[in-house]
Structure 1
């Protein structure tokens, strides 16, 4: 068998990281797919049990934003490293977050301080989709002008805040320094049937 061309090594590393994340999440007891028994490409109801269980949902925008942010930070921190190898570092960061996010510590924190009372963690397929979304954001940032990247991230944050009353910035705030006013605003967006 021919040796793998070195330009493919970063891609092999990314695939390996995605596989390791899936294995770690499986070991944590995460389900491979939604317990509903099927996988949708998109699931838009953040208040249902299918949220964070399918390939993509409204929180995919946060993972796209991760990619833009990771690209900017790693371009600054690792200027001499090629874009594909910086993508490997970004995938390590994203994968680390996906595993941490699906531990009891973070799941319980979400349930304690946010409006996500019914959140029980991501399915493995959803975490895979989050990793792919981060890569899309990362490589878009690598090709777009800085201003376009900034405007896209701001646009995604505003769209998510408008549609689901949550986004990456609010997620960080609520995990680190929960604000009751934000939680109340998020709860106001819940369907009245709850």
Structure 2
């Protein structure tokens, strides 16, 4: 494939990723998700974990998890679409993340979070927060595409240890508690 044809293909895949991202936003809106925090303002960072502002603003303690999603999805894309342009792999990553964001904001998953995890008052993400989760995933994806594998792994481990220490939650614990809740972990996360 010529350089010009490759560039055109790359741009087309970028448009596919953008279309998936916009569909995510439209579906969340159709599901009745609030566009921004019901508090009426937008914050760059929400530092409270068990607050009404969590999962409502641009970033929060779960942002590192979404960056790690990007690392993982880059690896998956490399495994299954090795010969495809990086933008085709990005489209796959955006599709997976958008699918998760939609599922995460469905009543069944919101209820699961409330009953099985430390997120007792969780009511779902605002559309802004959900969209930014996808943007942070894409940032993680592009970082993984540029960084050495060892550094990507070190950053992921650092994020997991940092959030695990500071808020008693991280991507690993979140998945564990969503899929197979462990009462001892739930008690520890509750600070008891």
TM-score band by shorter chain is over 0.9
**In structure 2, what is the equivalent of residue 168 of structure 1?**
171
Q: Which of 140, 156, 159 matches 1:156?
A: 159
Q: Which of 11, 14, 30 matches 1:8?
A: 11
CA RMSD of aligned residues (A): 1.3
Q: Which of 143, 146, 151 matches 1:143?
A: 146
**In structure 2, what is the equivalent of residue 54 of structure 1?**
57
Q: Which of 79, 83, 87 matches 1:84?
A: 87
Q: Which of 113, 121, 124 matches 1:121?
A: 124
**5 Å matches for 1:14-93?**
14-93=17-96
**Where does the alignment leave 5 or more consecutive residues of structure 2 unmatched?**
1-6
**In structure 2, what is the equivalent of residue 192 of structure 1?**
none
Deviations 1:76-122 (A, max 9, x none): 11111111110010000000000000000100000001111110000
State the TM-score, normalizing by the size of structure 2. Answer: 0.94
Aligned length: 186
SS of the counterpart of 1:14?
helix
State the TM-score, normalizing by the size of structure 1. Answer: 0.93
**Where does the alignment leave 5 or more consecutive residues of structure 1 unmatched?**
190-194
SS of the counterpart of 1:126?
helix
**In structure 1, what is the equivalent of residue 181 of structure 2?**
178
Q: Does the 8 Å contact 2:66/2:134 carry over to 1? A: yes
Aligned equivalents of 1:117, 1:72: Cα separation in 2: 33
Shift of 1:5: 4.8
